[in-house]
Chains A and B, each alone.
Chain A
Amino acid sequence: AQRVTQPEKLLSVFKGAPVELKCNYSYSGSPELFWYVQYSRQRLQLLLRHISRESIKGFTADLNKGETSFHLKKPFAQEEDSAMYYCALRGGSQGNLIFGKGTKLSVKP
């Protein structure tokens, strides 16, 4: 069965500090991994996806197949990064989208 685990419900850091939001997955094949973000009172939106290997708003994520992880990192957090972050997985031939429980990031001034 496919599963996404985000071990931290809440992560609180000060502005300018590094941030790492953890994500581990369980899937028998080769899934695609995503990070979605939900700012206060807004709909979820894609932040980045593994296949693009891009950096969005200073965030990066590396897929580690050995550790089955897809941690989200940013070297210097900003207050506007405060939001709910969801790691997600798409797998199978059709690509059903499954989410982790989310991590709330709070960046303090």
Chain B
Amino acid sequence: EAQVTQNPRYLITVTGKKLTVTCSQNMNHEYMSWYRQDPGLGLRQIYYSMNVEVTDKGDVPEGYKVSRKEKRNFPLILESPSPNQTSLYFCASSYYGVTTEAFFGQGTRLTVV
């Protein structure tokens, strides 16, 4: 089944403790992206990647890192999480191009205390 898989689905952590949220897709998509969803603010893009080893900042990259060493994986790294990073995170992937449909993961709800 074609899908985008995020792990974990839920995570509660403490301020400053490094964490990684994984995202994997099995559709051979070139494009992958991370968004955070907050009430009243919608979906804001954190980072995106157009292909392996090609990443770029979105609108809210501060406090986050990404890597794209393989085409199927696009992990989101929080080196030193803070409470303002408490949010619902979504990973998305698609084929390269402006007309293509993006497929989303099921979301990761992160709470930083």
Do A and B actually bind? yes
Interface 1/0 per residue, A21-36 and B, CB below 8 Å: 0000000000110101
Count how many chain A residues have C-beta atoms less than 8 Å from C-beta atoms of the other chain.
26
The size class of the interface chain B forms with chain A is: 20 to 34
Interchain CB contact under 8 A, B101 and A99: no
Cα distance A51–B100 in the bound complex, in angstroms: 10
B110 within 8 A of A: no
Interchain CB contact under 8 A, A101 and B41: yes
Which residues of the other chain, A, contact B35 by a CB distance below 8 angstroms?
99
* A86 with B48, Cβ < 8 A, contacts A46-B102, A95-B96, A97-B33 known: no
Interface residues of A in 73-105 (CB under 8 A from B): 86, 88, 90-92, 94-102
Other contacts beyond A94-B97, A99-B42, A99-B44: 16, CB < 8 A? A9-B40, A31-B98, A43-B90, A49-B101, A86-B43, A90-B100, A91-B98, A92-B98, A94-B50, A94-B96, A95-B96, A96-B33, A97-B102, A99-B45, A101-B42, A102-B43
